[in-house]
Each structure stands twice: as C-alpha cells, then as structure tokens.
C-alpha cells in the first residue's frame, strides 16, 4: 500500500483550519451542483477545535450546512440522549446547535435501544448511509487501542455498524469524563471498519504525545485487526492531520 499521507503541524489549531477548509470547499462545491454533502463525524477531544472552526466559518463566512447530511460514528450504550456524556449531547453542544443544519439530516447511533432493537437499528443505519449516497468525507480520531469509531482490536475490515464492547484502555481513557472508570458504559454502537472504509475521503486527527505510539503503529505497522486503524492504509484517499507531539515516534 501507499504510505498514508501524514501532515504534521506545530499546533492542532492550525491543522484544523486546513481540514475545515477542505470540508467547507466540499460542502460548497456540492451546494453549487445542488447536491447533498454527506459527512461522517467523530466525537471526543480531537475534533472539538475543528467543529469550532466550522462554526466560525458559518457565523463569519456564511458557510451553510443546509445541504449537509451527517452520520456520527458511535454512541455509548446504554446512554440517554440528554446525558452530558452522550455523543448526542456532544454533537449538539459543539456543532449542531450553532449551525443551520436541518435536524432531520442528523444521524447519531441511538444509545437508548434495547438488546432486541439494536441489530435492526444497526442494519438500518448502514442502509441510510448508502441511501444518502455514501459518506463523502469521514472525520476520525484514534484511540490508544488503535480503534477508529469504537472498532477495538479484533474488528474486521468488513465489519458493519454493530454493538461492541469497549476495551479496558478505552474505558480508562473515558473515566475522566464520567467521574470514574466504573461509571463508563462497557458497550457502544459503532459504525464498522467496513462502513468507515467505504467513505470517499477520510481525515484522521490526532494530537499530543499520548497518541504518538499508536500513530506510529498505524502508519508504519503491518495491516492487521490487532490495530484496526491500520486498515486505513488500504484506503485510497485518506489523510492524517496530526501535531508534532503525535508525530514524535514516526521514522
Ligand atoms: C469518537 C470515536 C473515537 C475517538 C477516539 C479518540 O466518536 O469514534 O474513536 O475518536 O477514542 O478520542 P479523543 O479524541 O478523545 O482522544
């Protein structure tokens, strides 16, 4: 495979300006053709500044999201929508409440489903993505286990949207947000690796020294379900946008 193109920035703030411009250009070029723009979105700390920049472009530069359809990667399970720890809350708080997106165009996995409802929901989620024309651009973060979405080690490149169990390290990393490890949900609904790889363009964001070793494994390691993010090496149009700290171990 071609090596994943990695762009290294002094500061996350400058990296996200580049990514936000790419997203804005895509949205505008689709709008000119009267087409919808389908975005796959991530939560967590990595994309917060990107969403801030998109909100700024909406407010100051008239960037409209009226032709945008979004699909979020994942949601904890169980998780009420109104909970401050929900990805539902996160997305509204950081992005959706501040832009002109049609609420009907927002899709986030539902953390309130019963075990019996989950499978049907997941199948429908993949079908909705397909019916929308597929994801034009997918934003990703990366977990220290090598997860993208919540596709933990062992996730196959063909996996679709489904219920998963979170790894101990992932739960540990989320403990701060939940006020203790024992309060973090052990399950989630996530798009599959296969769902993600179908996106026409993928941008991955990673900041800080805590991500340095997983970034090295993902970019330089062999492709394996031991590090699901390595499947990104097989994607023809992926770009990593990282800061110098996350790039520290790259050779
Ligand atoms: C979030 C998601 C996760 C995060 C990853 C990194 O929707 O799918 O894969 O991107 O856990 O999280 P942060 O950005 O908080 O380091």
pLDDT tens across 80-112, in order? 999 999 999 999 999 999 999 999 999 999 999
Q: Where are the alpha helices (DSSP H) in 62-114?
A: 87-94
The residue with tokens 């075990």 is: 115
Catalytic hit among 53, 58, 74, 217: 74
What pLDDT, on the 0 to 100 scale, is given for residue 2? Answer: 81
74 beta partners: 190
pTM: 0.98
Average pLDDT, the chain: 98
pLDDT band (50, 70, 90) for residue 249 = very high
DSSP letter (8 states) at residue 96: G
Ligand 1 center from residue 128 Cα (angstroms)? 23
What pLDDT, on the 0 to 100 scale, is given for residue 1? Answer: 79
Active site residue 100: no
DSSP letter (8 states) at residue 211: G
Report which protein residue has its CA nearest ligand 1's atom 1.
43
Domains in the chain, CATH or no CATH each: 6-243 (3.40.50.1360)
CA–CA separation, 193 and 250 (whole Å)? 24
Q: What is the pLDDT of residues 137-174, one digit of tens each?
A: 999 999 999 999 999 999 999 999 999 999 999 999 99
Closest CA to 191 of 84, 99, 70: 70
DSSP letter (8 states) at residue 143: -
Q: Does residue 128 surpass a pLDDT of 90?
A: yes
Give the ligand 1 atom nearest the CA of 149: 8
Q: Does residue 217 surpass a pLDDT of 90?
A: yes
71 beta partners: 40, 107
Active site residue 225: no
């Amino acid at each position: 495979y071609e090596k994943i193109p990695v762009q290294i920035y002094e500061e996350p703030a400058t990296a996200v300006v580049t990514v936000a411009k790419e997203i804005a250009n895509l949205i505008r070029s689709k709008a000119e053709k009267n087409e919808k723009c389908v975005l796959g979105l991530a939560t967590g700390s990595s994309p917060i500044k990107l969403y801030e920049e998109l909100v700024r472009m909406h407010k100051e530069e008239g960037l409209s999201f009226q032709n945008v359809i979004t699909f979020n990667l994942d949601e904890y399970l169980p998780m009420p929508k109104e909970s401050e720890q929900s990805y539902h809350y996160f997305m509204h708080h950081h992005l959706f409440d501040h832009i002109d997106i049609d609420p009907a165009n927002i899709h986030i996995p539902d953390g309130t489903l019963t075990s019996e409802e989950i499978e049907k929901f997941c199948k429908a989620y993949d079908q909705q993505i397909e019916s929308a024309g597929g994801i034009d651009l997918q934003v990703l973060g990366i977990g220290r286990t090598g997860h993208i979405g919540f596709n933990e080690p062992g996730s196959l490149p063909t996996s679709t949207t489904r219920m998963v169990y979170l790894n101990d390290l992932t739960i540990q990393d989320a403990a701060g947000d939940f006020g203790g490890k024992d309060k973090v949900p052990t399950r989630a609904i996530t798009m599959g690796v296969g769902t993600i790889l179908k996106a026409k363009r993928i941008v991955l964001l990673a900041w800080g020294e805590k991500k340095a070793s997983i970034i090295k494994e993902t970019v330089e390691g062999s492709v394996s379900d031991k590090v699901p993010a390595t499947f990104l090496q097989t994607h023809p149009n992926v770009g990593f946008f990282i800061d110098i700290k996350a790039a520290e171990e790259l050779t």
